[in-house]
Structure formats: C-alpha cells, structure tokens
Amino acid sequence: MPSIRKPLIPLAPLPVNELGLTLRDYEGGMSTLCAGCGHDSITAAITRAFFELSLPPEKIAKLSGIGCSSKTPTYFVSGAHGFNSVHGRMPPIVTGANAANRSSIYIGISGDGDSLSIGAGHFVHAVRRNVNMVYVIENNGVYGLTKGQFSATADVGSSAKKGAANETPPIDPVILALSLGATFVARSFSGDKGQLIPIIKAAVEHKGFALIDVISPCIQFNNHEGSTKSYHYVREHEIKEIDQVYIPPSGEITAVLPEDGIVKVKMFDGSTLAFRTLPPHYDPRDREGAMHYVNQARLRREIPTGLLFIDEDAPDVHELNSTTDTPLVDLPYESLCPGSGALARFMEGFK
C-alpha cells in the first residue's frame, strides 16, 4: 500500500473479483518508503494484478531480502504469509519453501543490490534451477536503504547524487538471465502500470522462474540529473516496443490488439499471452534474438520494455526433481517413515 492514506470509508461499493474480494483485500500495511519512491508503484501494480487474477491471499507467499525494495512485501496482501529474510538470500529461501509446498504462489521481491551483488550467486542458481516463482528486481541502480552507493546495475557515466560518476560496467539482469537460460524474462518501468500489471499476471502463470526487472527510480538518492535510473531518463529512453496482453484461461480477451505483429503464447494453466511487438519480426521465443535486441538498444541508450523472452516448455524445478504432486508439507508421516520392519531389513545389510 503506497504511503498516501486512503479515505477510511469508501464512497461507493468496491468492485470484487472472482473470489468476491476487493482490491483492499490485496493491500498490505502502510508503506514507510519515501513518498514518490518507484517501489510503491510496483507494490500497487502487484496489488492490482493479484486482485485481477483472483489469487486466494493464503496461497500467496511473498518473500524478500533486505533493502527498501525488500520491505515492500509488507505493503501488499496482508492476508498472505511474508518473509523479509536477510540480504541477498531470498532465492534459496524461496527455493526451499517451494520445495516444501509447491501449491503456493511464490513472489520474491528484491533490489539490484540484493540480487546482483551479495545475492548474485543465488540469483544465478535460482534461474538455473527454474524455481517456480515470480522474481521482481526493483531496480534503481543504487543502494537505497544504505543511502546511495552505486549498485551493480548503475550505468557507466551515471552520476551519484554527490556527483561522482560510475565507471564500472553494469550487470544487466535481463542479459544475465537470458544467458543463463531463464525461461521468462521481462523488463518494465515502475511508472508504467499499464504494462507492468499484465506482465506480473503472466509471470504468475508462468511455470518456472519469471524474472521481471522493473526500473524503479529512487527519488531520494538516484533521481537527479545524470542518473540513468531517474524518472526523467527512463521516460525519455524507454521504448515500449514489446507490449502484451494477458488473456486468462477463460479466454475472454479484455483488450483488443491490432492484429499486426501479434504473437500468442499458451501458458501452462491454459491462459494465453498475446504480444504485440512493434518490430514486426520480434520473436519472444528466440533467446539470442532477445539478447541481441536488448544489447543493440543499450548501445542506442534505449531501454526496451515488455516481456522479452518466454519458454513455456522447459521443465521447472519440480519436473527436474520429479517431486510428487502433493505438497511435501501435506504428506502424512506414515508416507514418510518406512517403519520398524523396513529398518530391521535394512539392518541386515550391516551384519
């Protein structure tokens, strides 16, 4: 929930979703972030996407590391369990939770510092394992909570609030994830809910690791002139060349797309993703093409956003592990303990 207080009594009855819940039911505690922080907009987009998807709040598990970004899981879906863990270690924690209970919907919120510095090794391996989760990097190019150090995503030439310019080349989480075989890779901008909400929905439906790198300006430490992660800079350089609409399993299409350059992807649960791509031949199932496209745009100082790559066929962590369909936490003890008889037989091997 963003930090602007809402009137306590709604003026008109609020719209409800399939579960009969209102948007309010997907909100969380009051945000304690700076007014205007990009992260709050992402929170709002998640809130709305989850509401529109009619996700049962108790089925949502929201986890994070440490940072301003990592505080945000408190600000959406109070009815969901949350875990604000330690800096950089959210990916393994989600991996373990997911292994234990595959029936929940896991959303991990991280920062560029959290994911690409201290957590870089874990990020890499969560991608590799194709852990079934939505992974949001709230990317502001800076360490917000510790007050403004450059992060690993700061662009060369981007200047700090105090004037020093970054020299070290950045890590682009999109390129990194693509090169590691990620199965769902998107980029968006906190200021663009119209694009972000359908991406979040698609990410929830995706079977496997769904990365959403969201440029999310830090108004406190990285929104000045010279920063390439400022509202101003992103607005100037963002190209929404790749846009998409999320079509739920019911098949009811809520937005009309120009037929030109449409790509449809069938999701695991029967829903459909329809892309409108401006470069007419962009193929979101071509990994190298996506990398090439993003790399070229970077040279032009452009930031292409949208769902850039998807592979619905790759096995996820549970397929790789052949985990039983029943969540492990729900297996009764009897199905886990071989019992005294088996033990006695096993002992025979050690006589």
Partner 1 sequence: MTLSDNLETELNHTSRYVATSGVNDFAIRFANVNGTGSASANNLLLKSIFRMGIPVSGKNLFPSNIQGLPTWYELRVNGKGHTARASEFDLVVAMNGQTYREDVASLKSGGYLLYDSSWPLPKELMREDVNILGVPLSNLCTEPFPGSKERVLLRNIAYAGAVSALLDLDHSIVSEMLDEKYKKNEILRSSNQIALTIGYNYAKENFECPLPIRVAPLGVNANKILIDGNTTAALGCVYAGATVAGWYPITPATSIAENFLKLCERYRTFEVTRPDGTVEVKRNFAVLQAEDEIAALGMVVGAAWAGARSFTSTSGPGISLMNEIIGLAYYTEIPAVIINVQRTGPSTGMPTRVQQADLMTCAYASHGDTKHILLFPADPNECFSFAAKAFDLAEHFQTPVMMLSDLDIGMNDWVVDKLEWDDNYVWDRGRVLNSEQLAELPNFLRYSDPDDDYVTSRTLPGKDSKGAYFTRGSGHDRFGGYTESPEAYQDVVDRLTKKLQRAASYVPEPIIKSKPGSNLGVITIGSCEAAVLEALEILDEGGVSLDYMRLRGFPFDQSVRKFIDDHENCIVVEQNRDAQLRSLLILDLGVDPNLLRSVLSYGGFPLSTKSVVEGIEDLIKD
Site for ligand SF4 in 290-349 (CB under 6 A): none
Are 68 and 144 contacting, i.e. CB atoms less than 8 angstroms apart?
yes
Task: Give min distance, CB of 113 to ligand SF4, in A.
Answer: 10
The phi and psi torsions of 256 (rounded to 5 degrees) equal -100, 130
Burial-class residue 12 by CB neighbours within 10 Å (0-12, 13-18, 19+): exposed
> Which span sits near ligand SF4 by CB under 6 A: 13-21, 150-158, 214-222, 269-277?
214-222
d(C-alpha 112, C-alpha 246), whole Å:
27
**Cβ-based nearer residue to partner 1, 131 or 310:** 131
Choose among Mg ion, a copy of itself, ligand TPP, none what residue 119 binds, the Cβ cut-off being 5 to 8 Å by kind: a copy of itself
Does residue 218 belong to the site contacting ligand SF4 (CB under 6 A)? yes
Task: Give min distance, CB of 318 to partner 1, in A.
Answer: 8
Task: Give min distance, CB of 170 to ligand TPP, in A.
Answer: 13
Hey, CA dihedral for 134, 139, 142, 145, is it positive or negative? Answer: negative
β-strand pairing of 105-111 with 133-139: parallel
Task: Give min distance, CB of 143 to ligand SF4, in A.
Answer: 9
Does residue 134 belong to the site contacting ligand SF4 (CB under 6 A)? no
> Which span sits near partner 1 by CB under 8 A: 43-51, 88-96, 251-259, 295-303?
88-96
213: closest CA among 331, 81, 111, 327? 111
Choose among partner 1, ligand TPP, ligand SF4, none what residue 114 binds, the Cβ cut-off being 5 to 8 Å by kind: ligand TPP
d(C-alpha 53, C-alpha 19), whole Å:
10
Q: Contacts with partner 1 in 95-114 (CB under 8 A)?
A: 95-101, 103-104, 113
Q: Is 244 helix (H, G, I), strand (E, B) or coil?
A: strand
Question: Quick one: which of 45, 68, 131, 291 contacts ligand SF4 (CB under 6 A)?
Answer: 68
> Which span sits near a copy of itself by CB under 8 A: 16-24, 134-142, 200-208, 313-321?
313-321
d(C-alpha 84, C-alpha 68), whole Å:
11
> Which span sits near partner 1 by CB under 8 A: 27-35, 192-200, 237-245, 263-271?
27-35
d(C-alpha 39, C-alpha 151), whole Å:
16
Q: Is 291 helix (H, G, I), strand (E, B) or coil?
A: helix
Choose among Mg ion, ligand TPP, partner 1, none what residue 182 binds, the Cβ cut-off being 5 to 8 Å by kind: none
230: closest CA among 248, 218, 244? 218
Choose among partner 1, ligand TPP, a copy of itself, none what residue 8 binds, the Cβ cut-off being 5 to 8 Å by kind: none
The phi and psi torsions of 26 (rounded to 5 degrees) equal -105, 5
Question: Quick one: which of 28, 119, 191, 198 contacts a copy of itself (CB under 8 A)?
Answer: 119
**Cβ-based nearer residue to ligand SF4, 5 or 351:** 5
Q: Contacts with a copy of itself in 316-335 (CB under 8 A)?
A: 320
Task: Give min distance, CB of 317 to ligand TPP, in A.
Answer: 22
Laid out side by side, the sheet with 272-277 consists of: 242-247, 272-277, 262-266
Which secondary structure element, helix H or strand E, spans residue 83, and what is its range?
strand 81-84
DSSP letters of 183-208? SEEEEEETT-HHHHHHHHHHHHHSSS
Does residue 111 belong to the site contacting Mg ion (CB under 5 A)? yes
Q: What is the number of other CB atoms lying within 10 angstroms of the CB of residue 301?
A: 12
How does DSSP classify residue 166?
Answer: P
Q: Which residues bind a copy of itself (CB under 8 A)?
A: 117-122, 124-125, 128-130, 152, 167-169, 171, 175-176, 178-181, 288, 291-292, 295, 314-315, 320
Q: Which residues bind ligand SF4 (CB under 6 A)?
A: 33-34, 37, 39, 68, 140, 144-145, 218-221
